[in-house]
């Protein structure tokens, strides 16, 4: 089982073997982005509130095995665990966060909006900076039910959006999802563990194109595949940039 997940982690996921993740396939941005959330330093844990991307008693044996495998691969810096908080603003680098003078106190990051462990989104993401790739270990809890016993398609879309979003942020800084196209291939049983494996395919100007596969732990079952387009926000013209700026 773990051999399959390690293969995924090393860039051997089916269908993408012709373009090794180690090679950067697309052109770089004409002008280098000004990273907003882009540096891994932006995921710093210093002085931060509770980090939810750490093991808790609700994590299954599969989840723990995968976590330990990636934590081991993180020791040499190839992979980096991404901390996760229950408020969006807490994901920002300190220097950016401090610039937010008035931050609403009643908001919750969508994927962290349940307090009890194990009932909603249990996940942890690992970033491979060289490959511009994020693998998310995802264990959907019972409150994510769609068809009886299986994860709701919207919850799958949410975890895919956040995983590819993390990749886009790493590659291009401040971005928003413009398009997310998902093919659902096999249902995901509640309580099972899947790997959401995403990478940046190419960057054209402000457009960041990404792809993603969701597979079970041995890699044999393809649950979903997706492509995404994120747009790097333009400081001069974007309303979103205005809205997100202090």
Ligand X SMILES: CCCCCCCC(=O)SCCNC(=O)CCNC(=O)[C@H](O)C(C)(C)COP(=O)(O)OP(=O)(O)OC[C@H]1O[C@@H](n2cnc3c(N)ncnc32)[C@H](O)[C@@H]1OP(=O)(O)O
CB of 241 to ligand X, least distance (A): 8
Q: Does 179 engage in binding with ligand X (CB under 6 A)?
A: yes
Of the two residues 12 and 229, which places its CB atom closer to ligand X in the complex?
229
The one catalytic residue among 161, 197, 201, 234: 161
* Binding region for ligand X (CB under 6 A) out of 23-31, 62-70, 73-81, 228-236: 228-236
Among 33, 165, 173, 219, binds ligand X (CB under 6 A): 165
DSSP letters of 37-70? S-SGGGG--TT-S---SS--TT--HHHHHHHHHH
Q: Does 177 engage in binding with ligand X (CB under 6 A)?
A: yes
Among 48, 207, 221, 245, binds ligand X (CB under 6 A): 207
DSSP code for 95: H
As given in the structure block, the two tokens for residue 20 are 């090794």
* Exposure letters 166-200 (e unless 16+ CB within 10 A, then b): bbbbbbbbbbeeeebebebeebbebbbbbbbbbbb
Q: Does 107 engage in binding with ligand X (CB under 6 A)?
A: no
The CA distance from 198 to 151, in Å, is 19
CB of 4 to ligand X, least distance (A): 26
CB of 208 to ligand X, least distance (A): 10
Q: Is 51 annotated as catalytic?
A: no
Q: Are 105 and 42 in contact (CB under 8 A)?
A: no
| Helix 2-9 × helix 61-73 angle, to 10° | 40
Among 65, 114, 238, 245, binds ligand X (CB under 6 A): 238
Interface contacts to ligand X, rule CB under 6 A: 91, 161-162, 165-166, 176-179, 205-207, 229, 231, 233-234, 237-238, 240
């Amino acid at each position: 089982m773990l051999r399959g997940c390690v293969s995924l982690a090393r860039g051997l996921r089916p269908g993408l073997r012709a373009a090794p993740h180690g090679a950067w396939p697309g052109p770089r941005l004409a002008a280098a982005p000004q990273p907003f959330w882009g540096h891994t330093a932006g995921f710093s844990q210093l002085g931060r509130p509770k980090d939810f991307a750490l093991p808790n008693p609700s994590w299954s044996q599969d989840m723990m095995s995968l976590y330990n495998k990636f934590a081991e691969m993180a020791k040499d810096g190839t992979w980096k665990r991404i901390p996760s908080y229950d408020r969006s603003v807490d994901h920002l680098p300190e220097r950016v966060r401090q610039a937010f003078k008035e931050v609403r106190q009643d908001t919750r990051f969508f994927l962290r909006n349940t307090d009890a462990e194990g009932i909603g989104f249990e996940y942890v993401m690992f970033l491979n900076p060289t490959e511009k790739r994020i693998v998310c270990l995802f264990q959907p809890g019972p409150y994510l039910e769609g068809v009886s016993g299986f994860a709701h398609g919207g919850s799958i879309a949410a975890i895919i959006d956040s995983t590819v979003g993390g990749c886009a942020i790493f590659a291009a800084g401040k971005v928003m999802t413009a398009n997310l196209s998902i093919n659902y291939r096999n249902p995901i049983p509640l309580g099972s563990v899947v790997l959401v494996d995403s990478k940046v395919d190419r960057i054209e100007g402000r457009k960041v194109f990404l792809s993603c596969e969701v597979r079970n732990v041995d890699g044999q079952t393809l649950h979903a595949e997706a492509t995404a387009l994120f747009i790097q926000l333009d400081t001069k013209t974007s309303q979103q940039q205005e809205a997100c700026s202090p």
